[in-house]
C-alpha cells in the first residue's frame, strides 16, 4: 500500500501527455513514471484522457504501449553492419556513409536508383517531409509507403466516387442515429476497440446490424444478420443486395437524380444478375441476401462501413465502389445517421495518405501528374515545376524493381516491409540484393536486421507532431519525454541529411510546428485542406476536422451535406462486375487462407511483441480452422502444423473453431520469420489502386507429426 510517507516526491514523479501509437482512433492518455528512490526501477501508471473520439477509453494495447517504448530494447545509437555484425557509429559517420552511397548510386545510375519507403505511423509533418525529401533532396520518383497495403482501395474509391477521400464522411456521434448499419470486412471490436461503444449504443437504440465476414468475431457478435461470405466475394454479395433493392423499389430516385451520375448503367448491370447464382458464388443464401436488402433499404437512416476484409482484394477498389453505390442509391449520404466509413487502420493512416509520401501524390492530396498541382507545390518549395520528378510505383512494385536491380538503395522510415509485403520470400531476396539498405526505426525489426545502416528514432511519447485520426480529425500529439540515447526525431534526420546532400536551404525547420506551418500552405486549396489549422488552435480546440480552409473555419465534421467534392457537385456511381479472387483453390491447395488481426498485437508485431503484457496473451501465431476441415486434413488442436502455398510455407499452432467457414482458414499477420503469413500470400495487385489481395490465397495444411 502506498502511504503518505512512502509516496515519491514530485521530483521522482514525471507525467507525460501523449496519444496511443497504435490504431487510427488515436486515444489520448497520460503516462506517469514514478521511482520510490533515486536509481530504483520506475513504475508506470497509464490513465486514459478524455477526448472526443474514444470518450476517455483505452484498450489493452494503449494501456500497455509504454512497455515497448520505455522498457523495451530500443536502438539508441546509429548502427552500421560490418562483417555481418552491427557496430555503433556516430551520426556524423552514419550520414557520411549515406552521402557516399547515395552520391555514387545517383552519379552512376541516376536518382531513380534511390527509393524511399514510409509509413502511416509517421506524423503528418514527417510524412510531408519524406515526400519533399524524395522529390527535392534526392530527386527520385520512387517513394511509396505501407498505407498502399492499407487504405489504397478505399482511398481511390472515395476519390473517384465522392471527389474526396476522408475515412468517415460523418462524425462518430452519427453512429447511434443510424437505423441500419452494414459492417463489411471490419473487426472493430478487436481493431478499434474503443469505438465499439458507439455501436453498442446504436444497438441499444434498436439499430439493425448486418455484419459481413467469413468468420465469427467480436464484431459479428453484435450482428442481427451475419453474412458469412466466401473470402473475396464481397462485390458479388453487395451486387446481390442491390439487385433486391432495385426489384423491391427501395431506390431513393430523388437523391439519385439530384446528387449522382451513372445510376442508369448500374441499374442495367444489376438487372442482369441472378440471385441464385450470387448465392452460389458468395456462399450466402438468397434468403439472407433478401433479408439484408430489405433491412437496409427500408431503414430511414443507414450507414455502411468497410475495412480491409473488403479492400485487401484484387478487386478491392471496385468492391468498395459497390458498397458506395449501395449507400448512394438509397440516399444514405450527407445526413445525420447516414454515411460511409472506410475504417482507417494506422495511427496516422489518414494523414499519411494526404501529404505526399505516395508515389503519385503531392501534399494536400494533390496529384504529381497534374500540371497545376505541380506548379503550386513547386512554388511552395521554391523550385521549378520541371524539377519535380514524375510518378513512381506502388510499394510492392518497388520491391519488384529492387529485385530487378533498378532500385539499388532503399531508405525505410516507419515500416517493416519484409513482414508486411505479400510474397515475403521474394521481398527478402530483393532486399538482400540492395547495394544499400537504411532503416530508421526504434527497434531491430526483421527488416532492420537486413540493413546496412540503422538510424535510431524517437518514439511517439518523445515526438511531438500532428496525427489525423480515422474521422479526419487533426490532433496535436504533445511530447515532453526526452529522447533517449542518441535517437533523433525522423524529421530532424531528414533535415540533417538534406543539409549534407547540399539541399539544406529547403529544409530549415527548428520544430515540427515549423514544418506544419509549411504543410498548411502546401495543402491550401487542395482536397485535404489544412490551411485553417494551427498548433495554437489544436492546443485549444483538441482537434479539427479537415477540410478547414481558413483560421476562422470551424472544420468539417460531416461531409457532402449539400454537394460532393467533384466539380459538378455530384457523386459518381459505376457498374461493378462480379470478380473472383486471383488465386483459386485446387487439389493441391484446397483451402482459402485469409489473414488479419488479433486484439493484442499490432501489425508486424515489432512493437507489441516487445510488450511483456501483450506478448504473454498471444505468444505465437496460429491457424484458425473448422473442426470438420481439420479432421479431413488430419490436423489436430494445439499441435504445430505446416501451412503451404505456391510461394512458401510457415509453421503455426492449430486452433480448431466452429466460428470460421469450412472452406477457409485464418492466420494473423503479427509474427515474422517462420510464422510470417506473408510468405504464403499472393502478390497479385488490384489494377486500379495496386492493393495486394492479402485476404485470399490458396493453401494446404499438413500435420508435422
Ligand atoms: N489489434 C489490432 N488493431 C489494429 C491493427 C492491428 O494490427 N491489431 N491494425 C490497424 C490497421 S493498420 C488496420 S488496416 C486495421 C484493420 O482493421 P480490419 O480491417 O478490421 O482488420 P482485419 O483483421 O485485417 O480484417 C477484418 C475482418 O475481415 C475479415 N475478412 C477476411 N476476408 C474477408 C473477405 O473476403 N470479406 C469480408 N467481408 N471480410 C473478410 C476477417 O475475418 C476480419 O475479421 O486495424 C487497425 N487496428
Ligand atoms: N497478410 C497481410 N499482410 C498485411 C496486412 C494484412 O491484413 N494481411 N495488412 C497490411 C496493412 S493494413 C498494413 S498498415 C501494413 C503495415 O505494415 P508495416 O508498415 O510493416 O507495419 P508495422 O509493424 O507498424 O511497422 C512499422 C515499423 O516502424 C516502426 N515505427 C513505429 N513508429 C515509428 C516512427 O514514428 N518512426 C519510425 N522511423 N519508425 C517507427 C516500428 O517499430 C516498426 O518496425 O501491413 C500490411 N500487410
Ligand atoms: S490501439 Fe487504438 S483503440 Fe486501442 S488505445 Fe490505441 S488508439 Fe485507442
Ligand atoms: Mo493498415
Ligand that lies nearest to the alpha carbon of residue 63, given by its number in the listed order: 3
Task: Tell me the DSSP string of 217-271.
Answer: -TTGGG-SEEE-PPTT-HHHHHHHHHHHHHHTT---HHHHHHHEE-HHHHHHHHH
**Residue 347 carries which DSSP code?**
T
d(CA 646, CA 265): 39
Identify which ligand lies nearest to the alpha carbon of 185: 1
Closest ligand to 146 CA?
Answer: 2
Choose among 390, 415, 367: nearest CA to 135.
390
**Contact residues for 318 (Cβ-Cβ < 8 A; gap 6+):** 157, 235, 576, 577, 579, 688
Q: What is the per-residue pLDDT for 258?
A: 98
Nearest CA residue ID for atom 8, ligand 3: 27
For ligand 2, say whether the CB of 347 is within 6 Å of any of its atoms.
Answer: no
Cα(602) to ligand 2 centroid in Å equals: 8
Nearest CA to ligand 2 atom 12: 150
Nearest CA, atom 24, ligand 1 = 596
- Taking CB atoms and a 6 Å cutoff, what residues make up the pocket around ligand 3? 20, 22-23, 25-27, 54, 58-59, 61-62, 192-194
* Alpha carbon of residue 289 to chain centroid: 30
Cell numbers at residue 703, please?
500435420
Give the Å distance between the CA of 37 and the centre of ligand 4.
42
Ligand 4 centroid vs 108 CA: distance in angstroms?
A: 36
Nearest atom, ligand 3, residue 23 CA? 2
Return the pLDDT at 10: 57
For residues 650 and 672, give the distance between their C-alpha atoms in angstroms, rounded to a whole number.
Answer: 10
Mutation probe of ligand 1 site: the residue of 23, 420, 621, 682 with most atoms within 8 A of C-beta: 23
Report the pLDDT value the prediction gives residue 11, as an integer from 0 to 100: 59
Beta-ladder partners of 434? none
Q: Return the ligand number nearest the Cα of 22.
A: 3
| Interval between CA 699 and ligand 4 midpoint (Å) | 23
Which residue, among 422, 418, 415, 396, has the nearest Cα to 407 in the 3D structure?
Answer: 396
Q: Note the ligand closest to the C-alpha atom of 645.
A: 2
Ligand 3 centroid from CA 486, angstroms = 28
DSSP character for 685? B
* pLDDT tens digit sequence for 229-239: 999 999 999 99
Closest by alpha carbon to 593, among 547, 514, 639, 649? 649
User: What's the gap in Å between 336 CA and the centre of ligand 4?
Assistant: 28
Domains of the chain: 10-69 (2.20.25), 79-149+348-545 (3.40.50.740), 168-343 (3.40.228.10), 591-703 (2.40.40.20)
The atom number, within ligand 2, closest to the CA of 349 reads: 14
What parts of the chain have a pLDDT lower than 70? 1-11
Tell me the pLDDT tens digit for each residue of 75-121.
Answer: 999 999 999 999 999 999 999 999 999 999 999 999 999 999 999 99
**Choice from 422, 596, 694 to test ligand 1 binding pocket (greatest atom count within 8 A of CB):** 596
Distance, in Å, from the CA atom of 244 to the CA atom of 278, rounded to the nearest integer, reads 12
Residue 239 φ/ψ, nearest 5 degrees:
-60, -45
**Cβ of 26 below 6 Å from ligand 2:** no
Q: Tell me the DSSP string of 444-460.
A: --HHHHT-SEEEEB--G
Minimal-distance CA residue to ligand 1 atom 16: 345
For atom 5 of ligand 3, which residue has the closest CA? 62
Closest CA to 410 of 391, 386, 427, 387: 427
Q: How far is the CA of 22 from the centre of ligand 4 (A)?
A: 10
Looking at ligand 2, which atom is closest to the CA of residue 455?
38
Return the ligand 2 atom nearest residue 596 CA: 7
Judged by its nearest atom, the ligand closest to the C-alpha of residue 59 is 3
Q: β-strands 571-572, 436-441: how paired?
A: unpaired
| Nearest listed ligand to the Cα of residue 228 | 1
CB 642 within 8 A of CB 675: no
- d(C-alpha 377, C-alpha 79), whole Å: 35
Ligand 3 centroid, distance to 54 Cα (angstroms): 8
Residue 3 is predicted with a pLDDT of 37
Atom of ligand 2 nearest to the CA of 443: 42
Give the closest residue (by CA) to ligand 1 atom 30. 309
Residue whose CA is closest, atom 13 of ligand 1? 345
**Pairing between β-strand 114-118 and β-strand 143-145 as defined by DSSP bridges:** parallel
User: How are strands ordered across the β-sheet holding 544-545?
Assistant: 465-468, 473-477, 544-545
Q: Which residue has the cell 423499389?
A: 249
User: Among the atoms of ligand 3, which is closest to the Cα of residue 192?
Assistant: 3
- Between CA 174 and CA 636 the distance in angstroms is 46
H or E segment and range at residue 65: helix 65-66
Atom 6 of ligand 1, nearest CA residue = 602
DSSP 466: E
Alpha carbon of 24 to ligand 3 centroid (Å): 7
* Residue whose CA lies nearest to ligand 1 atom number 31: 309
Best of 187, 346, 696 for a ligand 1 pocket test (most atoms within 8 Å of beta carbon): 187
Nearest to 504 by CA among 495, 513, 512: 495
Ligand 2 centre and the CA of 670: distance in Å? 10
Amino acid at each position: 500500500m502506498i502511504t503518505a510517507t512512502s509516496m515519491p516526491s514530485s521530483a521522482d514523479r514525471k507525467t507525460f501527455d501523449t496519444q496511443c501509437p497504435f490504431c487510427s482512433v488515436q486515444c489520448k492518455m497520460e503516462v506517469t513514471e514514478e521511482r520510490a528512490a533515486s536509481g530504483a526501477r520506475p513504475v508506470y501508471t497509464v490513465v486514459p484522457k478524455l477526448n472526443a473520439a474514444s470518450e476517455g477509453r483505452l484498450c489493452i494495447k494503449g494501456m500497455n504501449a509504454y512497455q515497448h517504448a520505455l522498457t523495451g530494447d530500443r536502438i539508441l545509437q546509429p548502427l552500421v553492419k560490418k562483417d555481418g555484425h552491427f557496430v555503433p557509429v556516430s551520426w556524423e559517420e552514419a550520414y557520411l556513409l549515406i552521402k557516399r552511397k547515395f552520391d555514387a548510386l545517383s552519379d552512376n545510375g541516376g536518382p531513380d536508383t534511390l527509393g524511399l519507403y514510409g509509413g502511416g505511423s509517421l506524423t503528418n509533418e514527417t510524412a510531408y517531409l519524406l515526400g519533399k525529401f524524395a522529390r527535392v533532396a534526392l530527386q527520385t520518383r520512387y517513394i511509396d509507403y505501407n498505407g498502399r497495403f492499407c487504405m489504397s482501395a478505399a482511398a481511390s474509391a472515395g476519390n473517384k466516387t465522392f471527389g474526396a477521400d476522408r475515412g468517415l464522411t460523418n462524425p462518430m456521434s452519427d453512429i447511434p442515429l443510424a437505423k441500419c448499419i452494414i459492417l463489411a470486412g471490419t473487426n472493430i471490436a478487436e481493431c478499434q476497440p474503443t469505438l465499439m461503444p458507439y455501436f453498442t449504443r446504436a444497438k441499444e437504440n434498436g439499430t439493425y446490424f448486418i455484419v459481413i465476414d467469413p468468420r465469427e468475431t467480436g464484431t459479428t457478435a453484435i450482428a442481427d444478420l451475419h453474412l458469412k461470405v466466401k473470402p473475396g466475394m464481397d462485390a458479388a454479395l453487395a451486387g446481390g443486395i442491390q439487385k433486391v433493392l432495385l426489384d423491391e423499389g427501395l431506390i431513393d430516385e430523388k437523391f439519385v437524380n439530384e446528387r449522382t451520375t451513372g445510376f442508369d448503367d448500374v441499374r442495367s448491370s444489376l438487372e442482369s444478375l441472378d440471385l441464385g447464382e450470387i448465392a452460389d458464388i458468395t456462399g450466402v443464401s438468397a434468403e439472407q441476401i433478401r433479408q439484408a436488402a430489405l433491412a437496409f433499404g427500408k431503414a430511414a437512416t443507414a450507414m455502411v462501413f468497410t475495412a480491409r476484409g473488403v479492400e485487401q482484394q484484387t478487386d478491392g477498389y471496385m468492391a468498395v465502389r459497390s458498397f458506395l453505390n449501395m449507400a448512394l442509391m438509397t440516399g444514405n449520404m450527407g445526413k445525420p445517421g447516414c454515411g460511409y466509413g472506410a475504417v482507417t487502420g494506422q495511427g496516422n493512416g489518414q494523414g499519411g495518405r494526404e501529404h505526399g509520401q505516395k508515389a503519385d501524390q503531392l501534399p494536400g492530396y494533390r496529384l504529381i501528374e497534374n500540371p497545376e498541382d505541380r506548379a503550386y507545390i513547386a512554388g511552395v518549395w521554391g523550385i521549378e515545376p520541371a524539377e519535380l520528378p514524375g510518378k513512381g510505383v506502388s510499394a510492392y512494385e518497388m520491391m519488384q524493381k529492387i529485385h530487378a536491380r533498378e532500385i539499388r538503395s532503399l531508405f525505410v522510415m516507419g515500416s517493416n516491409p519484409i513482414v508486411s509485403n505479400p510474397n515475403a520470400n521474394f521481398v527478402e531476396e530483393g532486399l538482400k540484393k540492395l547495394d544499400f539498405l537504411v532503416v530508421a526505426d526504434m527497434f531491430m525489426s526483421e527488416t532492420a536486421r537486413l540493413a546496412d545502416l540503422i538510424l535510431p528514432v524517437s518514439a511517439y511519447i518523445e515526438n511531438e507532431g500532428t496525427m489525423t485520426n480515422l474521422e479526419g480529425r487533426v490532433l496535436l500529439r504533445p511530447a515532453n519525454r526526452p529522447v533517449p540515447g542518441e535517437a533523433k526525431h525522423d524529421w530532424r534526420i531528414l533535415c540533417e541529411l538534406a543539409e549534407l546532400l547540399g539541399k539544406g536551404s529547403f529544409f530549415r525547420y527548428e520544430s515540427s510546428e515549423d514544418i506544419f506551418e509549411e504543410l498548411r500552405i502546401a495543402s491550401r486549396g487542395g482536397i485535404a485542406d489544412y490551411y485553417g489549422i494551427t498548433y495554437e488552435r489544436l492546443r485549444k480546440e483538441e482537434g479539427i476536422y479537415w477540410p478547414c480552409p481558413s483560421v476562422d473555419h470551424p472544420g468539417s465534421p460531416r461531409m457532402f451535406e449539400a454537394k460532393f467534392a467533384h466539380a459538378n457537385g455530384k457523386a459518381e456511381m459505376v457498374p461493378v462486375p462480379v470478380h473472383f479472387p486471383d488465386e483459386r483453390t485446387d487439389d493441391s491447395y484446397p483451402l482459402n487462407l485469409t489473414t488479419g488481426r488479433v486484439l493484442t498485437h499490432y501489425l508486424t508485431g515489432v512493437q507489441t511483441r516487445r510488450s511483456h503484457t501483450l506478448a504473454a496473451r498471444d505468444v505465437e501465431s496460429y491457424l484458425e480452422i473448422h473442426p470438420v476441415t481439420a479432421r479431413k486434413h488430419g490436423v489436430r488442436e494445439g499441435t504445430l502444423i505446416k501451412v503451404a502455398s505456391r510461394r512458401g510455407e510457415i509453421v503455426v499452432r492449430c486452433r480448431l473453431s466452429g466460428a470460421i467457414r469450412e472452406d477457409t482458414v485464418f492466420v494473423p499477420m503479427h509474427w515474422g520469420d517462420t510464422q510470417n503469413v506473408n510468405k504464403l500470400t499472393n502478390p497479385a495487385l488490384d489494377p486500379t489502386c495496386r492493393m495486394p489481395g492479402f485476404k485470399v490465397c490458396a493453401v494446404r495444411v499438413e500435420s508435422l507429426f
